[in-house]
Amino acid sequence: MFREYEFTLIVKGEMPDGERAEVFKKYEDILCQDGGEIMKKDDWGVKKLAYSIKGQYRGHYAIQNLTSKPDLVAEAERLIRIDENVLRHMMIKVSNEVPDVEARKAILHAPPREKKSDDRPPRSN
């Protein structure tokens, strides 16, 4: 069964574009095996880090929304921990079960839910 994740990856900011693309592609390939899918990519570019990580003061941020299997996520995280080019990563499970390809695409293209006035919690005095 597939699950939906949000994956943030920060690599060294001084890496050449070609090497950086290879690092991102490596983890995309692992996570997309057996029918997993990248639903949305967001490349934030190079940003100044709040503090030094592995002697680096700048990092290249990339965020992806994806569906993958839990065992593939575990394997990607194992490899990330030993990759010298990766400064930080974060994998957040957004949804426990995403059954099939059509359901995954429906999640991506669903309109945002409108908030009704009845949705507010009661005010306490």
Helix ranges, the chain (H): 17-31, 70-82, 101-109
**What residues make up the domain containing 9?**
1-50
Q: What percent of the chain has pLDDT over 70?
A: 78
Q: Is 114 part of any domain?
A: no
pTM: 0.73
Residue 109 pLDDT exceeds 70: no
Going by the DSSP 8-state scheme, the letter that residue 6 receives in this structure is E
What's the pLDDT score for residue 117?
A: 56
Domains identified in the chain, total number: 1
Residue 108 pLDDT exceeds 70: no
Q: Is 108 part of any domain?
A: no
Residue 47 pLDDT exceeds 70: yes
Residue 83 pLDDT exceeds 70: yes
Q: Is 26 part of any domain?
A: yes
Place of tokens 């974060």: 90
